Amino acid sequence: MSEIKYPVTRTKNPKPRPKDENHLGFANYFTDHMFMMDYDEGIGWHDGRVVPNEPIPIDPASCVLHYAQMMFEGMKAYLRPDGRLQLFRPDMNAKRMARTADRMAMPVLPEEILLSGIEAVLKEDADWMPKAEGTSMYIRPFIFGNEISFSAQAAKHYTFIILLAPSGSYYASNDGKLGTARIFVQDKYIRAAEGGTGFAKVGGNYGGAMKASRDAQEFNCKDVLWLDAKEHKYVEEIGTSNAFFRIGDEVITAPLDSGTILPGVTRDSVIQLLKKWGVKVSERKLSIDEVMAAAKDGSLKEIFASGTAAVISPIGCLNVKGVDYQVADGEAGEIANRLYHDLYGMQTGKVEDYMGWTYPLDIFVK
């Protein structure tokens, strides 16, 4: 537990609580408090505090509203059977924040501030922790340049906030079992190009993807499978998540070296688990033609998305230029089910953490 203590201002306007924990959806509810901290050039990070989660004043000329110098993370707190809360590999988020900060010319947030801020606000709002199966507390730390300036240059003042959202699954689930989603193969727009910000967790990557996601919905698809920017040929990510393809006895995901793939914490965990289980896993380029050929000859066994919000989300059908390609029998596959079982099981303390990934907090709920 962190030694750093922050002042707390309690809310006078408690928020309405979710009525049904079995249908929380993703980030439809937010807790009563949030963590806030400021950064000033020459001073560093200062004035950490827990405050009511309320609208904040922001000047219309604040630079983030114009030039989008911001970054965020996605993490979760989980409830163990003994009532203790725990995080999952939070060091990985802190490291990714540091890489994003470097790319965005923003100040690095030390890991101990990230962790102590999360602990402080979670402690205050621990009674918001959802208990239903498949739920968790989604944690959204974010930092934005916040000064009155129209000069397109790195800001000198930043605001850091951590929000908590009791949440269920991001994609489909059927009565506690993993459901499958339909995904549209996007061959017109791109998500990230080499040298861009694809590997960084920044709002612009998501804002630029929204038209593609909306177009995908016209084909009754939940989201898109992105292809590479250069040749529109190689598979990259699925919507807001990393993508895995099981063809024959090999599980394949896009390699990180292009700098266009988000280095997901769940992605890394999936790769490590598959290696541990003796499953052949490759980080290599995979063309959409290879995927379609495998769908036709029956060797395409599974596709699934992985992410903090998405956890493990199986894909039952790919739509390529308006034509459906079913993935095996269209149901969640064996590897996706096993990954979900062990990952979510470890995260919630129901499966022994044989990888040493969980990070128990000194916060208990009844």
Nearest approach, Cβ of 13 to ligand COI (angstroms)?
27
Residues 172-231 that bind ligand COI (CB under 6 A): 206
Q: Which of 31, 308, 319, 348 binds ligand COI (CB under 6 A)?
A: 308
Q: Which of 93, 240, 242, 348 binds ligand COI (CB under 6 A)?
A: 240
Site string for ligand COI, 244-283 (x = CB under 6 A): ----------------------------------------
How many residues form the binding site for ligand COI (CB under 6 A)?
A: 8
Nearest CB to ligand COI, comparing residues 73 and 302: 73
Distance CA 109, CA 361 (A): 20
Nearest approach, Cβ of 63 to ligand COI (angstroms)?
23
Nearest CB to ligand COI, comparing residues 51 and 74: 74
Nearest CB to ligand COI, comparing residues 25 and 195: 25
Nearest CB to ligand COI, comparing residues 121 and 247: 121
| Structure-token match 């380029």, residue found | 285
Q: Which helix (H) or strand (E) holds 100?
A: helix 90-103
Q: Give strand ranges (E) for 42-126.
A: 44-52, 70-72, 75-79, 84-88
Closest CA relative to residue 65, chosen from 270, 243, 203, 256:
203
Nearest CB to ligand COI, comparing residues 210 and 323: 210
Residue 22: DSSP 8-state = G
Distance CA 55, CA 17 (A): 18
Q: How far apart are the first and last CA of the chain?
A: 19
Nearest CB to ligand COI, comparing residues 90 and 290: 90
Nearest approach, Cβ of 140 to ligand COI (angstroms)?
8
Closest CA relative to residue 142, chosen from 124, 165, 125, 126:
165
| Structure-token match 């998540």, residue found | 241
Q: Which residues, 6 or more positions from 258, have their beta carbon under 8 angstroms from its beta carbon?
A: 194, 198, 228
Nearest approach, Cβ of 281 to ligand COI (angstroms)?
21
Phi, psi of 188 (to 5 degrees): -110, -55
Nearest approach, Cβ of 264 to ligand COI (angstroms)?
8
Site string for ligand COI, 70-89 (x = CB under 6 A): ----x---------------
Nearest approach, Cβ of 97 to ligand COI (angstroms)?
12
User: Taking a C-beta distance cutoff of 8 angstroms, is the pair 236, 191 a contact?
Assistant: yes
Hey, what's the torsion of the CAs at 232, 236, 240, 246, to 10 degrees?
Answer: 130
236 to 100, 291, 307: CA distances (angstroms): 19, 12, 14
Query: 3-class DSSP state for residue 1?
Result: coil
Q: What is the tally of helices (H) and strands (E) in the chain? A: 8, 19
Nearest approach, Cβ of 206 to ligand COI (angstroms)?
6
Nearest CB to ligand COI, comparing residues 146 and 205: 205
Closest CA relative to residue 343, chosen from 267, 253, 245:
267
Interaction of residue 306 with ligand COI, rule CB under 6 A: no
Nearest CB to ligand COI, comparing residues 6 and 170: 170
β-bridge mates for residue 159, sequence order: 38, 144
Selected range binding ligand COI among 30-38, 304-312, 324-332, 344-352, rule: CB under 6 A = 304-312
Nearest approach, Cβ of 184 to ligand COI (angstroms)?
17
Nearest approach, Cβ of 124 to ligand COI (angstroms)?
22
Interaction of residue 307 with ligand COI, rule CB under 6 A: yes
Residues that bind ligand COI (CB under 6 A): 74, 170, 206, 240, 307-310
